[in-house]
Amino acid sequence: MTASHELISLTHLAEPPRQPRRIFVNRNLRLDSLTAVGFDMDYTLARYRRERLERLGHQLTLEKLISSRGYPDDVRALKYDPRFVIRGLVVDKELGNILKLDRHRHVGRAYHGREPLTKERRHELYRTEKLVFGPPRFAQVDTLFSLPEMCLYADLVDCFDRRARGSLGPWQICDDVRECIDEAHRDGTLKSIVRTSIDTYIEQDDQLATTLHKMRSAGKRLFLLTNSFGSYTRAVMTYLLDGQLAEYSSWQSYFDVIIVGASKPGFFNGAEPFLELDEDDAATDKTATHLQKGKLYQGGNRKELERMMGVSGDEVLYVGDHIYGDILRSRKASLWRTALVVEELEEEIVHMENSDEVFRRLSELETRRRRLDEITNLQRQALSGLDKEDPHYSMLREQRDHAKRERNELNAEIEALEERVADTFNPYWGFVFKEQGELTRFGEQVAEYACIYTSRVSNFTGYSSYQYFRSARDLMPHERE
């Protein structure tokens, strides 16, 4: 067989994954250079039926606000609206506003409760002085588990705005909602309900077991690293993996090390010991001196994990869904490579593909606008060198005014198209990754901290174990023009 025939036959061995199921690259990564691959569980290996889980979280948080924070009974009537939530939003606790920021920290969209703020009001509140959009005034919402608090917070702000003077302020409401939703997770209220009806709240991915098997067959050592505790982890992983492949007697067989109750992000730069669990998956006071395959351990820290597994640095890939707890902290504390699971990616890509004609039109309009900007600048320069009595002055000024009018018309058309296509994705917030042509704050974090990103773990199945994920060449604006 000739080399050309061999190449042709190889190209037919496997088709590249469809766009929504692809793995996208920010920094070069060779799979064959990895020794170990670690996984978070919730929203990474385990894909939740989001709207059902979010409605449950919303309901439980309301009950806790009423029972333990003294909120009035009538707030129980508030309903969860899954449309009014996307990842990456920011809460202004002082003013009761919810914001969507672009990568320059410009507020592109904002709501006070459920009422949109006008462009003029956004400018007045957030463009007259330099603000740092961080604690204590601003709260980030960057986990899927936290989405119900956005809808609940907005509705409660509206609710208490209508009440008599002296009612709860937006800062207190935000703290109460966040504490109660965290409490619903921490005290097991939510997860105990999920455990009793796992198939109601968690999806089965029929490619997950195959994906993990493929990695193990390529010589990778796999570990599970989750903040969920032992009994819940066992229930979820049993549902996901037990009985999927004959080669594995139980879900524990897929992993060389299993760590629960890891307290991420503290795990990455802390010094907590690994604790052995008893037969009921509860932590004992016995510190583990080595990590045995098939057993569950609680707590621990990154340095001891590396030492006990005999791995370190960039030979480890960690796959998680939480931009802060899984990705940012591991990147800052270590040389581990990072893969971010962004569940929303599939829907956003499909929507963009369906809006392909609009995006082509936007590209044409933006090219024309750049050209008009260049012409207008040249005209201004020419006018600045002419006396008003010069016969060419009036002609140049008329041409400049015509170019400015055309540019204003282009700006209006571009803005209207951007709003239209974004609003069809989400009528309140638009795209998760973009705002008016710019990366959102969340999109910037994905680009900055994730070596690669994709919509689900099983997307790795579509790639060779020797895959070289190569990023596009970085270009500065002067290189693109």
HEC string of 221-244 equals EEEEECCCCHHHHHHHHHHHHCCC
pLDDT in tens, 245-282: 999 999 999 999 999 999 999 999 999 999 999 989 99
Same domain membership, residue 170 and residue 54: yes
CA distance 325 to 304: 19
Mean pLDDT of 334-356: 88
128-132, 284-288, 367-371: segment of lowest average pLDDT: 367-371
The verdict on 132 and 54 lying in the same domain is: yes
C-alpha closest to that of 430 among 362, 351, 322, 365? 351
pLDDT of residue 164: 66
Last residue of a domain, one of 431, 447, 468: 431
Residue 42 is among the residues annotated as catalytic for this protein: yes
Q: One-letter amino acid identity for 165?
A: R
Q: Does a structural domain hold residue 302?
A: yes
Question: Structural domain tally of the chain?
Answer: 3
Q: What integer is the mean pLDDT of 445-469?
A: 93
Looking at the fold, whether 310 and 422 belong to one and the same domain comes out as: no
Mean pLDDT confidence for 27-45: 96
pLDDT of residue 13: 45
**Do both 302 and 386 map to the same domain?**
no
Q: What is the mean pLDDT of the chain?
A: 88
Answer with the one of 302, 317, 342 that is the final residue of a domain.
342
Determine if the peptide bond prior to 265 is cis (ω within 30°): yes
Does the structure show a pLDDT above 70 at 88?
yes
44-64 average pLDDT score? 95
How far are the Cα atoms of 110, 147, 282, 370 from residue 88, in angstroms, in the given order?
13, 10, 34, 30
Strand, coil or helix: what is 212? helix
Domain final residue, candidates 168, 198, 228: 198
In a domain, 60, yes or no: yes
pLDDT of res. 127: 92
**Are 44 and 319 within 8 A, CB to CB?**
yes
The residue among 213, 254, 207 whose CA lies nearest residue 233 is: 254
Q: Are 282 and 276 in contact (CB under 8 A)?
A: no
Q: Which residues contact 45 (CB under 8 A, 6 or more apart)?
A: 39, 208, 224, 237, 240, 457
Contact 220, 253 (CB under 8 A): no
Residue pair 271/307 in contact (Cβ under 8 Å)? The answer is no
pLDDT for 9 equals: 42
Q: Comparing 80-89, 196-205, 335-344, 396-405, which segment has the lowest mean pLDDT?
A: 396-405
Give the confidence band of 4 by pLDDT, cuts at 50, 70, 90. very low
Report the C-alpha gap between 284 and 275 in whole angstroms: 6
- Does some domain include residue 476? no
Q: Are residues 74 and 167 in the same domain?
A: yes
Please indicate, yes or no, whether residues 235 and 173 belong to a single structural domain of this protein: no
CA distance 308 to 291: 7
Of residues 42 and 5, the one with the higher pLDDT is 42
Q: Among this protein's residues, is 326 annotated catalytic?
A: no
What is the distance between the alpha carbons of residues 434 and 96, in angstroms, rounded to a whole number? 23
Residue 144 has pLDDT above 60, yes or no: yes
pLDDT at 15 over 60: no
Other Cβ atoms within 10 Å of 70 Cβ, number: 9
> Does residue 138 carry a pLDDT above 50?
yes
Residue 89 within a domain: yes
Let me know if residue 159 belongs to a domain.
Answer: yes
Residue 233 falls inside a structural domain? yes
Catalytic residue among 42, 142, 155, 256: 42
Write out the residue range of the structural domain in which residue 150 sits: 50-198
| Residue 350 half-sphere exposure toward CB, CA atoms < 13 A | 8
User: Is 178 in the same domain as 98?
Assistant: yes
Residues 73 and 116 in one domain: yes
**Residues 22, 456: contact at Cβ < 8 Å?**
no
Q: What is the pLDDT of residue 16?
A: 57
Q: Name the active-site residue from 32, 40, 206, 281.
A: 40
State the pLDDT at residue 17. Answer: 66
Looking at the fold, whether 223 and 327 belong to one and the same domain comes out as yes
Q: Are residues 222 and 117 in the same domain?
A: no
**Is residue 471 domain-resident?**
no
- Residue 295, pLDDT > 80, answer yes
Confidence of residue 5 (pLDDT cuts 50, 70, 90): very low
pLDDT surpassing 90 at residue 215: yes
Give the Cα separation of 52 and 458 in Å (integer).
22
- Give the residue, 372 or 453, on which the prediction is more confident: 453
- Locate 330 and state its tokens: 């591991």
Please check whether residue 447 lies inside any domain of the structure. no
Both 386 and 311 in one domain: the answer is: no
Q: How much of the chain, in percent, has pLDDT values that exceed 90?
A: 63
DSSP state of 329: H
